[in-house]
Each structure stands twice: as structure tokens, then as C-alpha cells.
């Protein structure tokens, strides 16, 4: 009899442990929804960056109009126009990083985006490594664009500075070449 009671008690303990384990695992699983904050604010950040970059382009348009038709070109007119447009492209690229991040986090932690089905695989992300890879590539492009924006406002006074500039462009080209090779394998 005692053996039977011990067996019943052990079964009850295992049931209690199983129930606690199920509750705990359910709580852990549902806690993934906290990433909704990163998704929502990532999307908000991307939208803000798109608006700011668009406003910058609109502002550049009025500056260009005034520089072209109102009076002779101001000093460094072309550099200022190109620099401002490159700055806007930079903001657009950062906004794209935010979108990729938000979509990727959502797909990894919450759910597959049904609406994206059939619209290509641009944002299809199935692992954290894929997400990091996509974000890293766009960030490299942001850095390249930022580099060229800064170069526009640089004055080269010696041949050595021009050599450094040529060397930096060569390094960027080599880096982009290898980055494209990594994405294909």
C-alpha cells in the first residue's frame, strides 16, 4: 500500500512540476512581445528620417532655384548642392536600416508578415545573422555616402593629400567588392 501511495504522490509532484514548467515556459514565450516596442519605434524613427530627408531635399530645391535664377552662383554652389543631396541620401539609407531592423525583428520574434508574401524577398529574414548581414550592408553604404559627403568639403593642398584620398577610395572599392562577394556565398 505504501508503495502505491508513494507512486501516487510522485505522479502528483510530477504533474505539479509539469504545470509550473508549462506556466513558466508560456510566460517566457509571451515575453517576446516586448520587442514590439523596438518594431514600433524603429518604424517611427524611419518615418521621421524619411520626412527630414525629404524636407532637406525640398530646402535644397529652393536654394538651387535661388542660386540658378535669382542671382549668380554663390561661392561653392555646386559643392553645397551635391553635399546636401548626399546628406539626404544618407538619411534615407539610415531610414532603410531602421525599416529593415523593424521588419526583421518583427519576423524573428513575433510573426511572419503575411502581407509581404509575393512581394519579393527584400525583407524576408529567417535568422538573426541574416538581419545583421542586411543591416551591416546598408550601414556600410551609409558610411560610403558619408565619406563622399565629407570629401566634397575637403580642400587638398598637397600631392600627398591627393594620394591619401586616392588610397581611401581604393580601400572603399576593395571593401565594397568583398562585401558583395560575402553576400553571394
pTM for the full model? 0.69
State the pLDDT at residue 44. 97
pLDDT of the residue at 51: 96
List the Cα angle 130/106/94 in 5-degree steps: 65
C-alpha cell at 133: 548581414
The pLDDT of residue 173 is above 90: no
Instruction: Work out the mean pLDDT of the chain and round it to a whole number.
Output: 80
Please indicate whether residue 184 or residue 149 has the higher confidence score (pLDDT): 149
Over pLDDT 90: what percentage of the chain?
15
Three-state DSSP state, 30: helix
Report, as an integer, the average pLDDT of 44-65: 89
Q: Is the pLDDT assigned to residue 101 strictly greater than 60?
A: yes
Per the model's pLDDT, the better-predicted residue between 73 and 105 turns out to be 105
Helix axes 77-109, 128-152, angle to 10 degrees: 170
Nearest to 134 by CA among 104, 114, 174, 92: 104
Buried b vs exposed e over 102-130: b needs ≥16 C-beta within 10 Å? bbbbbbbeeeeeeeeeeeeeebbbeeeee
pLDDT value of position 38: 93
Amino acid at each position: 500500500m505504501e508503495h502505491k501511495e508513494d507512486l501516487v504522490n510522485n505522479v502528483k509532484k510530477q504533474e505539479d512540476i509539469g504545470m509550473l514548467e508549462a506556466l513558466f515556459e508560456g510566460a517566457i514565450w509571451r515575453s517576446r512581445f516586448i520587442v514590439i516596442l523596438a518594431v514600433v519605434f524603429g518604424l517611427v524613427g524611419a518615418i521621421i528620417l524619411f520626412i527630414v530627408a525629404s524636407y532637406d531635399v525640398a530646402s535644397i530645391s529652393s536654394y538651387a532655384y535661388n542660386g540658378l535664377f535669382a542671382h549668380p552662383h554663390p561661392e561653392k554652389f555646386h559643392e553645397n548642392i551635391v553635399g546636401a543631396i548626399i546628406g539626404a541620401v544618407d538619411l534615407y539609407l539610415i531610414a532603410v536600416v531602421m525599416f529593415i531592423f523593424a521588419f526583421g525583428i518583427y519576423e524573428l520574434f513575433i510573426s511572419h508578415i503575411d502581407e509581404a508574401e509575393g512581394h519579393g524577398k527584400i525583407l524576408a529574414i529567417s535568422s538573426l545573422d541574416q538581419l545583421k548581414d542586411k543591416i551591416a550592408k546598408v550601414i556600410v553604404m551609409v558610411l560610403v555616402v558619408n565619406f563622399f559627403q565629407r570629401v566634397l568639403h575637403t580642400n587638398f593642398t598637397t600631392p600627398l593629400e591627393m594620394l591619401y584620398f586616392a588610397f581611401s577610395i581604393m580601400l572603399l572599392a576593395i571593401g565594397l567588392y568583398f562585401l558583395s562577394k560575402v553576400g553571394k556565398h
